[in-house]
Amino acid sequence: MRKRQVTDCYKAAVAGLARGVALFVIAVGLTACGGGGEKPTSVVLVTHDSFVISDDVKRVFEEESGLALTILQAGDAGEVLSKALLTAGNPQGDVLFGVDSNLLSRAIDGDLFEPYESQLLEGVDERYQLDPEHRATPIDHGEVCLNYDRTWFAERDLAPPDSLDDLAEPPYEGLLVAENPATSTPGLAFLLATIARYGEDGWQDYWRMLRENDVLVVDGWEEAYNVRFSGSSSGTGERPIVVSYASSPAAEVIFRSPRPERAPTGVVADSCIRQVELAGILRGTENEEGAQELIDFLLSRRFQEDVPLSMFVYPVVRDAELPPEFQRFAVVPPDPLELPPEEIEANRDRWVDEWTRVVLR
């Protein structure tokens, strides 16, 4: 009973926040309701290893909500999803962030999330809202694209590729490193890009040509980009074309000391496909209010404007501003390739199996 009252009081405070009441009023309100001792004092965000939040942004959430934000990173995106499915109904946290649009159906089928429709979704473009029942809320998007090493091509007087077709041509033999779609989310996205481009009847032939052209397939983005690709700053790799992100060139600039004037890598705009990252409230959470607050926060301008430089992805909220480094160095593909989510859902596992037979066996 007492817990109920406390939560109601809490709810009032949250509503106050939504109405834009000043911070200290909420703080006072919370203190006034406090003393119950049963109110959850923290909210746990389960996410993948690539999740990054700036300290001051995290602090803003903690101060505004009065909740400590605990971040539980549990591996790469696929691993996190599997672990969440393993504990569905008795979760290790309150909110899961980082389900990729291409794997969304796995989460939905596993009955992982509780529906929540944030009011802030009004500010989010329809094309990112992939679940009409709002079990999963879009938070950011990124484009998976071919990247190439500018220096490598300049030194050899060879034009960098500018289409997917180019990769199957003789001058580009042995130059591409891609990720295994069975084990990597950018790998899966790139496979879907080729299916979107060449269709159900043509993609296998395209990959046969890539195979003949000596494509190198590795398990994960880390290895493809940091080890095999010649253009990354850790670059000892020998392959000048890699499946990465549209924002990778900006990362190459920001993480290099001294910062170069021009991004050392380029993006093949024709090859891009969109990935949306979503978050959801884990079914069975003991802190549903806090979880909803956290989802709202992930859609707030403060967080949305933090994602480009912390995770190298784009905000989904329309009025979020991009940082200058992003405006200057990151590439925004004008119209990326797309596949209808229903089609992905119905065929994903079969496509990956077929790809494995065509390319690896």
Q: Tell whether residue 248 is a contact of another protein (CB under 8 A).
A: yes
Q: Which of 124, 206, 205 is nearest to 164 (CA)?
A: 206
Q: From the CA atom positions of the chain, what is the Rg in Å? A: 22
State in angstroms the smallest separation of the CB of 255 from another protein. 3
Q: Which is nearer to another protein, 209 or 227 (CB)?
A: 227
Q: Tell whether residue 254 is a contact of another protein (CB under 8 A).
A: yes
Q: Which is nearer to another protein, 19 or 350 (CB)?
A: 350
Contact 198, 206 (CB under 8 A): yes
User: CA–CA distance from 229 to each of 80, 264, 272 (Å)?
Assistant: 26, 12, 18
State in angstroms the smallest separation of the CB of 143 from another protein. 16
DSSP 307: H
**Residue list 313-352, contact with another protein (CB under 8 A):** 349
Q: Which stretch binds another protein (CB under 8 A): 27-35, 114-122, 216-224, 315-323?
A: 216-224
Write each residue from 44 to 63 as x if it is in contact with another protein (CB under 8 A), else as -, in one continuous string. Answer: -----xx-x-xx--------
User: To 10 degrees, what angle do helices 55-65 and 288-298 make?
Assistant: 140
Q: Which stretch binds another protein (CB under 8 A): 6-14, 59-67, 155-163, 255-263?
A: 255-263
Taken in order 146, 147, 152, 157, the sign of the CA dihedral is positive
- Say how far apart CA 263 and CA 247 lie, in whole Å: 11
CA angle, corner 11, sides to 5 and 15, nearest 5? 150
* Residues engaged in binding another protein (CB under 8 A): 49-50, 52, 54-55, 70-76, 78-79, 81-83, 85-87, 90, 92, 106, 110, 180, 182-183, 216-219, 222-223, 225-227, 232-234, 236, 238, 248, 251-252, 254-257, 310, 312, 349, 360
